[in-house]
């Protein structure tokens, strides 16, 4: 399979779980509530990663067929190994979904679309495989205004390493991450009854090590950035980030908010 339609480095499901998957599990239930899928029919999780949303949908509707697809073979293997209810996991590209028109009652993409170079292709595919009257829903981090753990990282890193600016600006100024961006994509895709929300979870870290070490796991934009960094710069960023994390108190638990933009629409 060609792996060209992703900007997300995904090579290790366990490392992804520690870095982001554990928080994606918290986002999934409110995102499902918001999506408001009909009570029957198959459901598809597009860009499922290690299966946070797929598992939550399978748990909520044990009798339904729930499928998760992702470009990353390692993530799919990890998700399958977790044996999460009756959820089915398959490799697949969001921009060329391997399903017939109208197969699903609902399709959802949690934290995917910022990492697809042409997100309109992915949304058009989600619309195509969803039946008429069915729901399409997506959520992306409000990375600029609502994602404390990333804000702290990148604003600290750019003061030490100017190359961090490119990553920060790409994430924070992404057209889908700014207010109204995701809803515009849904309107352009011709979906009806579009509704938007912002969904907030909390990320609870045990201590600075619990915050810092998962950043080095090699996954996503953070992992790609740190993988190329020399030890001196990494050490300086670590020290400054530890200072920001502790903020004048002893090292220990910290709870940071994380907000996602969520949009849903109905297939005409
Ligand atoms: C931030 S992760 C989100 C994963 C999961 N939805 C979650 O909530 O934890 C982004 C995921 O999108 C996947 N991805 C990126 N581009 C893709 C594409 N074109 N088709 C399928 N998956 C893709 C990556 O492999 C990665 O698993």
pLDDT tens-digit map of 198-247 = 999 999 999 999 999 999 998 999 999 999 999 999 999 999 999 999 99
Phi, psi of 228, rounded to the nearest 5 degrees: -100, 0
Ligand 1 centroid, distance to 210 Cα (angstroms): 23
pLDDT, averaged across the chain = 95
Q: Look up the pTM and report it.
A: 0.96
The ligand 1 atom nearest the CA atom of 69? 21
User: Ligand 1: which residue has its CA nearest to atom 15?
Assistant: 6
For ligand 1, atom 1, name the residue with the nearest CA: 111
Q: Which pLDDT band holds residue 5 (cuts at 50, 70, 90)?
A: confident
**Calpha distance 21→44 (Å, rounded):** 18
Q: Cα separations (Å) of 50 from 5, 33, 125, 232, 246?
A: 18, 20, 21, 32, 30
* Span 158-210, pLDDT tens digits: 999 999 999 999 999 999 999 999 999 999 999 999 999 999 999 999 999 99
- Do the beta carbons of residue 218 and residue 15 sit within 8 Å? yes
Query: At 252, phi and psi to the nearest 5?
Result: 165, -160
Q: CB of 47 closer than 6 A to ligand 1?
A: yes
Q: According to the model, what pLDDT value does residue 18 have? A: 95
Atom of ligand 1 nearest to the CA of 93: 20
DSSP state of 213: G
Which residue's CA is minimally distant from atom 14 of ligand 1?
A: 47
């Amino acid at each position: 399979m060609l792996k060209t339609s992703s900007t997300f480095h995904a090579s290790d499901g366990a490392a992804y779980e520690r870095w982001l998957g554990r928080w994606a599990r918290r986002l999934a239930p409110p995102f499902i509530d918001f999506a408001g899928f009909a009570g029957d029919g198959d459901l598809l999780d597009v860009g499922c990663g290690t299966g946070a949303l797929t598992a939550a949908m399978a748990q909520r509707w044990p009798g339904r067929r729930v499928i998760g697809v992702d470009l990353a073979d390692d993530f799919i293997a990890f998700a399958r190994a977790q044996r999460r209810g009756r959820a089915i996991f398959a490799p697949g590209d969001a921009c060329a979904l391997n399903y017939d028109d109208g197969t699903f009652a609902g399709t959802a993409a949690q934290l995917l679309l910022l990492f697809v170079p042409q997100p309109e292709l992915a949304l058009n595919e989600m619309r195509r495989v969803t039946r008429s009257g069915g729901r399409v829903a997506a959520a992306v981090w409000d990375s600029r205004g609502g994602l404390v753990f990333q804000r702290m990282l990148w604003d600290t890193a750019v003061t030490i390493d100017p190359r961090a600016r490119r990553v920060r600006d790409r994430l924070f100024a992404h057209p889908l991450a700014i207010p109204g961006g995701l809803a515009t994509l849904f309107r352009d895709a011709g979906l009806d009854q579009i509704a938007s929300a912002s969904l907030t979870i909390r990320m609870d870290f045990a201590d600075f090590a619990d915050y810092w070490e998962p950043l080095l796991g090699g996954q996503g934009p953070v992992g790609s950035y740190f993988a190329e960094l020399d030890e001196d710069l990494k050490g300086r960023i670590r020290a400054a980030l530890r200072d920001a994390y502790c903020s004048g108190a002893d090292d220990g638990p910290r709870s940071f908010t994380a907000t996602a933009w969520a949009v849903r629409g109905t297939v005409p």
